[in-house]
Amino acid sequence: MLGVAVRSVSNWIDAGKLKAGRTPGGHRRVESHELVAFLDRQKLPIPPELTHKPPRVLVVDDEPSFAKWVVDEIHDLYPQCEVLVAHDGFAAGEIVATSKPDVVILDLKMPKMDGFEVCRRIKARTESQSTVVIAVTAYPSDEAEKRILQCGAQAYFPKPVDRDAMMSELAAVLS
């Protein structure tokens, strides 16, 4: 894929230039976003298969009907988009860590971990700091809006959500 020797990649990893993990069997694994960042820093060409990934959105809401509605709306506007769903804050954290979504549409009041804490954790991790968080809540208040924006959310929408406004926000992020 890169047109370089395996040993060169191993040397980059050993020198700390390229971040990698190890499998239980001892093999090295480099995540695609780490490789792209490394290639960009080194001014090396980025293979086309690493540059054209569909956008990934995580919908987090403990109300299955609302989550389904959001998924359907996203797929109607962005059929190429990969949409993941979590129904509690803890599951959301796991998905953010493993799937690295570009956008998280996040309910504020959920079991196990509320949306404020999920947003704080997303923004605290180096790997997910650039993830855009769009907050939604059935319990709107000026205090909740101020608090979630301070946690790092880009936008806040009370339920029932204004579909056009939320999709416009999503479009601005995905374009």
CATH 3.40.50.2300 spans which residues of the chain?
Answer: 56-174
What dotted CATH number matches 56-174? 3.40.50.2300
| Inter-helix orientation angle 89-99/115-124, to 10° | 20
Q: Is the whole-model pTM more than 0.85?
A: no
Question: Can you point out the beta strands (E) in the chain?
Answer: 21-22, 28-29, 56-60, 82-86, 103-107, 132-137, 155-158
Q: Who's near 102: CB < 8 A, 6+ residues apart?
A: 55, 56, 57, 131, 132, 173, 174
Full pLDDT tens readout for the chain, 175 residues: 677 888 888 899 999 999 998 888 888 888 888 888 888 888 887 776 777 778 999 999 999 999 999 999 999 999 989 999 999 999 999 999 999 999 999 999 998 899 999 999 999 998 899 999 999 999 999 999 999 999 999 999 999 999 999 999 999 888 7
